[in-house]
Amino acid sequence: MKTMLNVALPKGRLGEKVYAMFEKAGFECPSIKEQNRKLIFENEAAGVRYFWVKPSDVPIYVERGAADIGVAGKDILLEYNPDIYELLDLNMGKCKMAVAAKKDFRYNSQKTLKVATKFANIAQNYYTSCGRDIDIIKLNGSIEIAPILGLSDVIVDIVETGTTLKENNLEVIETVVPISARLIANKTAFKFKAAAIEKLKCELEAQVEAAK
Amino acid sequence: MDLTLKYEESTVFALRSLYSKYGYSQYKMNKFEEYDLYVKNKDFLISDSVITFTDTNGKLMALKPDVTLSIVKNSKDVKGYVEKLYYNENVYRVSKGSKTFKEIMQVGLECIGDIDAYCISEVISLAAKSLKEINKNSVLSISHLGILSAVLDSANVTPFIKSDIIKCIEEKNEHELKKLCKENGIDDATAVILSNFISIYGSPDTVLPEIKKLSNNSEYLSAVNNLENILSLIEENEIKDMLQIDFSVVSDAKYYNGIVFKGFIEKIPNSVLSGGQYNALMQRMGKKSGAIGFAIYLDMLDPLKTNDSEFEQNIIVLYDEATDISALKKFTDGLVAKGNRVSAQRFVPDKLTYRQLINFKNGEVEIIENNA
């Protein structure tokens, strides 16, 4: 019996691009392109089963073994720190984790810095490494509004083009870490399906190199 | 006789019999230990939260989060003497998912004292046999910490970068590793060796010749030879097939040195067995001798449990207030004597599955339902 690889793909534009790479690598699954609300797609002949999940949930599916491999942004991996293998930088979905503030912002060393973010762990680790005492305000969206309303001094968030920041009169003041999509694998799955996973990794690596 | 043992019970039973065959004796410990022991060795623990309470004499005590530390504390330190112990104990740790304390059943084995190559190979093969006992589709991934540290030491890598490099190897993260080496001025030759620690893995017969070629450093080669010697002592084919050299198995060098390993079972997402040589821990605790051991986390075996019988109960016997109780008793005893599992009830319980439903009213037996 052919090994079946269970793949967790992040729903959305990134996931579709990633699927195109997987398809080119020989793990095609035509039914995935049908317009419907199904979430699981299987192609037994190619030995692959895909499922769409919320991007931030991909590491959870992989860490707990529901998926053998998956594709997740480095931001999510840094935030959740899952016990998985990170096999490849797919060099797509590129952006950066950055600190942004209002244009006239100056650090005040007398005050505790108030940081609004979706990524509490990343922000905490970053400011700990800088030796700065901060107060984290965990928000779930529209982070840009926090400094404008005086809820926070700065924000730590993903910056792609910087348009949203500009429109809200904010600017990047520090880069925390560059972000891109990564191929991740469950540790046990890697032990028992090494050949299939390595094959896929090699094919994808060649595509990444070719695109550079 | 139908020994309706729970899955954990039958597993523990099999493992205990395996360990005692090789001369290991059971170590029984108290539920509590002085908190001091864990504070001093905080990084050795998997979760750093411990349940504590003040004993009647004012001492701060802890519900044990770990067994190894207690065994080491109580071990004898006599030259030429080796203690062989196994344990089956509950430990109390914070679970990663729910972030609350959980009671976890752990089985483990420790070989402490003047240990030699025989002891080390015996413990490794017992780890492999334990996995096999649980499930035949299992792998024991082995690494030698001396190999990696020889490479890092000879390249004069600072401790801070060292831990980042080790994390990359643990994650099989070749792209970040390359970046890290470049950013920190690690020479190309070392960077290539480190990359190889990610890409080379597999059976000892294929891996050992490859890694021998990587470096001429004497410390490196002595660590590789040490690993080779130990693994060559394991000759049983069924065990040999399970062994894999994989450098992504890393453990904290403050406690571990030499051989470390992790066991994986198909369908269980994380490693179920973890162990290694922990001479460094022995030294930290003021002991001169060495030690090797492993622990198996039985709480992780859940995915292997199957519904061995389709029905929770064989037979449900229904009765009511008017039923003659002594006749009912005789009837159920009779069914039990024939080897059935019987539950006498006045109503059919919700969501209970059963093979046969019998109405026992007014001394008459009527079969209402038969689920074959």
Compare all CA atoms of chain B with the CA of A193 and give the residue at the minimum distance.
B266
B293-330 pLDDT, tens digit per residue, is: 999 999 888 888 776 556 666 788 888 888 888 889 99
* Neighboring chain B residues of A197 at a CB cutoff of 8 Å: none
Assess A179–B contact: CB distance below 8 Å, yes or no. no
Please give the single-letter amino acid code of residue B99: K
Both tokens of B176, joined, read 């970040």
Read off the pLDDT of each residue in A2-27 and give the average, rounded to a whole number.
92
**Taking an 8 Å Cβ-Cβ cutoff, which residues of chain B contact chain A?**
137, 139, 141, 171-176, 201, 244, 248, 264-271, 303
Both tokens of B311, joined, read 């029905």
Other beta carbons within 10 angstroms of residue B253's beta carbon come to 16
Q: Is the pLDDT of residue B3 over 60?
A: no
Q: Which class for A11: exposed (0-12), middle (13-18), buried (19 or more C-beta within 10 A)?
A: middle
Confidence band, pLDDT 50/70/90 cuts, at residue B160? confident
Q: Give pairs for B190-196: CB < 8 Å, separation 24+.
A: B190/B151, B190/B154, B190/B155, B193/B151, B194/B151, B194/B165, B194/B169
Give the residues across from A9 on adjacent strands.
Answer: A52
Q: Which of A65, A88, A89 sits opposite B269 (nearest CB)?
A: A65
B120-153 pLDDT, tens digit per residue, is: 999 999 999 999 999 999 999 999 999 999 999 9
Q: Could B269 and A86 be called an inter-chain contact, meaning their C-beta atoms sit closer than 8 Å?
A: no
Q: How far is B268 from chain A (nearest CA, A)?
A: 7
Q: Could A191 and B141 be called an inter-chain contact, meaning their C-beta atoms sit closer than 8 Å?
A: yes
Q: Pick left, alpha or beta for residue A65 (phi over 0 → left; psi -120 to 50 → alpha; otherwise beta).
A: left
Structural contact between residues B51 and B63, judged by C-beta atoms closer than 8 angstroms: yes
B199-223 pLDDT, tens digit per residue, is: 999 999 999 999 999 999 999 999 9
A128-180 pLDDT, tens digit per residue, is: 988 888 999 999 989 999 999 999 999 999 999 889 899 999 999 999 999 99
How many angstroms separate the CA atoms of B314 and B335, rounded?
10
Structural contact between residues B142 and B249, judged by C-beta atoms closer than 8 angstroms: yes
Assess A87–B contact: CB distance below 8 Å, yes or no. yes
B272-282 pLDDT, tens digit per residue, is: 999 999 988 89
Residues 1-60 of A with CB under 8 A from B: none
B177-207 pLDDT, tens digit per residue, is: 999 999 998 999 999 999 999 999 999 999 9
Residue-range domain boundaries for chain B:
312-370
Other beta carbons within 10 angstroms of residue B236's beta carbon come to 11
Q: How far is A65 from chain B (nearest CA, A)?
A: 5
Residues in contact with B71: Cβ distance below 8 Å, sequence separation at least 6, in sequence order:
B27, B29, B85, B87, B110, B112, B293
Return the percentage of chain B with pLDDT > 90, whole number: 52
Give the residue among B31, B39, B29, B34 at the shortest CA–CA distance from B57: B34
Structural contact between residues B198 and B174, judged by C-beta atoms closer than 8 angstroms: yes
Position of tokens 């395996």? B18
How many angstroms separate the CA atoms of B168 and B200, rounded?
14
Q: At what angle do helices B159-170 and B188-199 cross, to 10 degrees?
A: 30
How many angstroms separate the CA atoms of A84 and A61, rounded?
11
* Neighboring chain B residues of A194 at a CB cutoff of 8 Å: 201
Q: Is the pLDDT of residue A204 over 50?
A: yes
ipTM of model: 0.86
Residue-level pLDDT at B309:
59
How many angstroms separate the CA atoms of A208 and A71, rounded?
14
* Neighboring chain A residues of B128 at a CB cutoff of 8 Å: none
